[in-house]
Amino acid sequence: MSATGTTRQKMPSDIAAMKGGAPIVCLTAYTTPMARMMDAHVDLVLVGDSVGMVLHGLPSTLGVTMEMMILHGKAVARGLQNACLVIDMPFGSYEESPAQAFRNAARLMSETGAGAVKLEGGQHMAETIAFLVQRGIPVMAHIGLTPQSVNVFGGYKVQGRGEDGARLMKDAIAVEKAGAFAVVLEKVPASLADAITAEISIPTVGIGASAGCDGQVLVVDDMLGLFTAFKPKFVKRYGTLGEQGEAAIAAYAAEVRSRAFPAPEHVFADEVKK
């Protein structure tokens, strides 16, 4: 991250101040080139543990390690000058105790230069969130469908329908009181997302929630059409780069096999013409 220039990189406090104002734009990123591509257009970049499924071919986020998050966090940090950088805490790195969470969160921030960490959980994680915030680590919370708890939920199901909505409202209030600067609402009914957004004083960032949230986040490979193994209902594809990439690879393979590539302009002569 550059220490010079005319713009200042956004901090968690800047994101918190956007509550009720212009919608917060957030995307995931896992590499330096992708971070550079989105830096001028988004407010917040999340190095999500979705990297395990998107880039490493894992069946869920549960196999993601601290080392993986640090590696990709460093890569993304090199590509940002403007957007706030938040990194997911992987499964098993914070649930045991607030002390464990602090050690791992401090490591993530010190080794990557991230502005904040994100962790999953509502009321049961409030003590941990408060412990981190009191020790100088900004926290973005994540409630609703929390992918690290997929085995408990029995799949990637909508959360908060009917009477279960009261639980998620309590989760949102709990993470707000604990000091989180923002909260992700994933795969919850739109009316519940709107009610939570109106109730709490910190920004809500929706993914499969409501246009009424204070911001939106998508996995960048989903919205660009690079990840095509499946497409969640809440994803809108703004590009078809996966299809274009496969077509380009097929064209390259055909030209190599027909010896059309490399052409004369792609190779070097014995002598440079004067």
CA distance 88 to 49: 6
∠ at Cα 185 (180, 189), nearest 5°? 145
- Residue 158's contacts (CB-CB under 8 Å, 6 or more residues apart) are 145, 187, 188, 189, 208
Radius of gyration over alpha carbons of the chain, in Å?
A: 21
Question: 63, exposed or middle or buried, with CB in 10 Å at 0-12, 13-18, 19+?
Answer: middle
Inter-helix orientation angle 98-112/66-77, to 10°: 30
Active-site residue flag, 95: no
The one catalytic residue in 186, 199, 243, 246 is 186
Which residues in 43-166 belong to E strands, given as ranges? 44-47, 84-88, 116-120, 139-144
- Residue 12's contacts (CB-CB under 8 Å, 6 or more residues apart) are 84, 86, 115, 116, 138, 140, 181, 182
Which residues in 69-167 belong to E strands, given as ranges? 84-88, 116-120, 139-144
Distances (CA, A) of 244 to 131, 225, 240, 241: 47, 9, 6, 5
160 DSSP assignment: -
Omega before 262 cis (within 30°)?
yes
Q: Catalytic positions, please?
A: 186
